[in-house]
Structure 1
Amino acid sequence: MLQDKITQYTEEIKQFAPTSSADVENFRLKFLVSKGIVKSLFDEFKTVSVEEKRVLGMVLNEFKQFAEKTYQEAHEKFGANKSQAQKSEGDLTLPGQGLKLGSRHPLSLVRKEIVEIFKKLGFIVSEGPEIEDDWHNFSALNFPPEHPARDMQDTFFIKKQEGNDITLRTHTSSVQVRLMEAGKPPFRAIMPGRVYRNEAISARAHCFFHQVEGLYVDENVSFADLKQTLFHFVQELYGEGTQVRFRPSYFPFTEPSAEMDISCTICKGAGCQLCKYSGWVEILGCGMVDPNVLDNCGIDSKKYSGFAFGMGIERVTNLKYEIKDLRLFSENDVRFLSQFESEII
């Protein structure tokens, strides 16, 4: 009789007193697997009369729940204890804890790509200090003491001293000065690094950001060399078909000077909010090195000429990845950075 079997197995389960995880597993194999006792009782239940089903249906369900609860309690007791014991004993059969890979910062990715492009053109990487004196940050670059262009830089002054203030560098052009002072032409180098300006933090500006500047000094360097170098850079970074234009501009350390625009990579020149519906986005400033700068660094400006350029890595990254808020680069938000996991290199 089905009723007698349910009563018999219920008493057996009540007497179940496991002493190890092996006892718990044997209980599961006996009662709860697809060929176990619970399943066989349900199969037998299908053959009883309709009157018996009305009585035994609830009893059989209660038996099943009782068996599952007994197993679950025993499993939690001995399973957890076993796992903890294995951990404390250093069980080498336990699975290892995987380490989640991080991702490269988007600014690091773009900086590396920029460096690689210019390395192929023969440019070396040159670096310098972030804390600079007035000579290297301003005076050698053709900024006279009262020149209004100094106000353009919004400088963080660390120490004011007569004739040679100490500042946080406002551009990596100071590295160009150090390079030219320490050697002899020809020079062909780029200067990536972090710079600081006393500006209000917003979606379009920050008090610190990153630049890559470039310098090429040799005999008979022309503006045509500058244009072709930068045109090649844009095609490599943004893809063939990206349009380029140069607009006259002013910088104290270059003459003539220009700003370079590229066709907006987001709207493809059709006009959008990023390019202010002009179809163009300015990405860098450039020009021929002013002869005064060459002379200040001990280079004969009658024999040598050169060009220089500088770009903000944040601006270039904005266009490459369509990031609209500069603050995201320095907030260390994992949700933002995890988007670049596929960019690990």
Structure 2
Amino acid sequence: MDDLREKYVGLIAQASDESTLEDLRVQAVGKKGEISLQMRSLGKMSAEERQVAGPKLNALKDEINSALAAKKTALADAALDERLRGEWLDVTLPARGRPAGTIHPISQVTEEVIAILADLGFAVAEGPQIESDWYNFDALNIPGHHPARAEMDTFYTHRAEGDERPPHVLRTHTSPVQIRHMEAQGAPCRIICPGRVYRADYDQTHTPMFNQVEGLAIDKDISMANLKW
């Protein structure tokens, strides 16, 4: 048994790949392996001989299986290390530079206007971009025959067939925000209404969508002189 131990422990230690290791497992502890054959021969021994040889063979088999498992783990670790070395990347290398984005000029101007007027006590008020006909025109004293209400100037939404309610529009100014704010908050107030507005106008100097900032101040002793804020 000592010869078998030295033989297979040495061969297992020298194995360079899992295929060789599997061959050694079959030769040693496989169904027809040397140790397995010796364990089958226990039946031919006397009771006294089995009591001596049995534990030794079991211990040898366990030792060989442990050596096989340890070597298999070592080979797997070595293979992983080799693969990682081949895939290694130096993460400390500087990446390719990307140009940094900048704020859009319209957004920049809008933010500057808001900041200036905020210092003067104006709060920002916002409202829907799809408005009712009433908030966009009627509440602002824009009569039904006014040219601004024509479809050539304003984007209208279409109601379902049979729906007689007035159509909605894409707001043509941010003035409806002032109406909504006065309804909800009353006076006094000091607000600005920045936002996108829409008009059916498209040429070299106009686009169907543009940005607008309106201001509203309601209080006692307010006059045109306050425009010099």
Identify whether the pair has TM-score above 0.5, normalized to the shorter chain. yes
Q: Secondary structure at the match of 1:89?
A: coil
CA deviation string 1:237-269 (max 9, x = no partner) = xxxxxxxxxxxxxxxxxxxxxxxxxxxxxxxxx
What residue is the counterpart of 2:130 in the other structure?
131
* Distance in 1 between residues matched to 2:171 and 2:211, nearest whole Å: 11
Structure 2 residue 189 is matched with structure 1 residue 199: no
What residue is the counterpart of 1:215 in the other structure?
216
* Distance in 2 between residues matched to 1:112 and 1:198, nearest whole Å: 26
> How many residue pairs were aligned?
143
* Distance in 1 between residues matched to 2:207 and 2:122, nearest whole Å: 28
- Report deviation, 1:149: 4.6
Structure 2 residue 105 is matched with structure 1 residue 106: yes
Which residue identity is paired with 1:180?
M
* Distance in 2 between residues matched to 1:209 and 1:169, nearest whole Å: 11
Which TM-score applies when normalising by structure 1?
0.38
Contact 1:168 1:196 in 2 (8 A): yes
Q: 1:197 to 1:159 in 2, by over 3 A?
A: same
* Distance in 1 between residues matched to 2:151 and 2:121, nearest whole Å: 32
What residue is the counterpart of 1:337 in the other structure?
none
Q: Secondary structure at the match of 1:112?
A: helix
Q: 1:170 to 1:86 in 2, by over 3 A?
A: farther
Gaps of 5+ in 2: 1-83
Structure 1, 146-155 or 208-217: larger mean CA deviation: 146-155
Which residue identity is paired with 1:177?
I
Q: 1:88 to 1:209 in 2, by over 3 A?
A: farther
Q: Post-superposition, which runs of at least 4 consecutive aligned residues in structure 1 deviate over 6 A?
A: none
Q: Secondary structure at the match of 2:157?
A: strand
Q: Secondary structure at the match of 1:189?
A: strand
* Distance in 2 between residues matched to 1:137 and 1:90, nearest whole Å: 61
Structure 1, 144-153 or 132-141: larger mean CA deviation: 144-153
What residue is the counterpart of 2:39 in the other structure?
none
What residue is the counterpart of 1:343 in the other structure?
none
* Larger helix proportion of the pair: 2
CA deviation string 1:123-154 (max 9, x = no partner) = 00111111111111111111122334534981
* Distance in 1 between residues matched to 2:107 and 2:200, nearest whole Å: 23
Which residue identity is paired with 1:174?
P
Gaps of 5+ in 1: 1-84, 230-345
Structure number with bigger Rg: 2
Q: 1:162 to 1:221 in 2, by over 3 A?
A: farther
- Report deviation, 1:205: 0.9
Q: Secondary structure at the match of 1:159?
A: coil
Map 1:81-120; keep pairs closer than 5 Å: 88-120=87-119
- Report deviation, 1:86: 8.1
Which TM-score applies when normalising by structure 2?
0.56
* Distance in 1 between residues matched to 2:169 and 2:201, nearest whole Å: 15
Aligned alpha-carbon RMSD (Å): 2.4
CA deviation string 1:208-255 (max 9, x = no partner) = 1100011011123212222x13xxxxxxxxxxxxxxxxxxxxxxxxxx
Aligned counterpart for 2:180 among listed residues 178, 184, 188: 178
Contact 1:153 1:170 in 2 (8 A): no
* Distance in 1 between residues matched to 2:183 and 2:106, nearest whole Å: 30
Contact 1:156 1:167 in 2 (8 A): yes
- Report deviation, 1:97: 3.2
Q: 1:91 to 1:122 in 2, by over 3 A?
A: same
Q: Secondary structure at the match of 2:211?
A: strand
